[in-house]
Amino acid sequence: MLAGSSSGYGEDVPVFVISVAAELAGMHPQTLRQYDRLGLVSPGRAGGGGRRYSARDVARLREVQRLSKDDGVNLAGIKRVIELEHQVEALQARAAELAASLATAQGAASAALGLRVRRTDQGAAVASLLDDRHRQGGGRSRAPRLRHRWRVRHDARDH
């Protein structure tokens, strides 16, 4: 009856009362209250103020328990691990957004120039396309300058 079950609840929907969540996580309800106070898990709240845990919350409770018991990490360390995981997720989402924006911009640029850019080595692909244009009588080639600019930008990121 957890995430992905036929009940229709997603893993982020807070449906479990504290006693059920504690049983699913293999903990005492008081431990869940303490973890809530410490900010390790943030359950949803029902209309009357009671805690409601989602399947994701239960999974996080199990992870907190594993880190504490198996790996010997204290609660402050666990809180820091959770914060860092959130940062990583946010950065991954931002990287995906930027990759999508880049792909859109490349598509628009390619369409505007009537060209198709390979995704493997974008700087070299653009330079080779400009070389092709030059050979077709498009004037002085800008490919060497673009290759240099592309190399300088990407080399700087590597250091």
**Is pLDDT of 151 > 80?**
no
CA dist., res. 6 & res. 87, Å (int): 32
Quick one: pLDDT band at residue 157, thresholds 50, 70, 90?
A: low
Q: Are 95 and 103 in contact (CB under 8 A)?
A: no
What pLDDT is stored for residue 72 in this prediction? 94
The per-residue pLDDT for range 95-115, each reduced to its tens digit, is 999 999 999 998 888 888 776
Which pTM was predicted?
A: 0.57
Helices (H), 73-119: 75-113
Q: Are 46 and 52 in contact (CB under 8 A)?
A: yes
Question: Bigger pLDDT: 46 or 116?
Answer: 46
Q: Are 40 and 78 in contact (CB under 8 A)?
A: yes
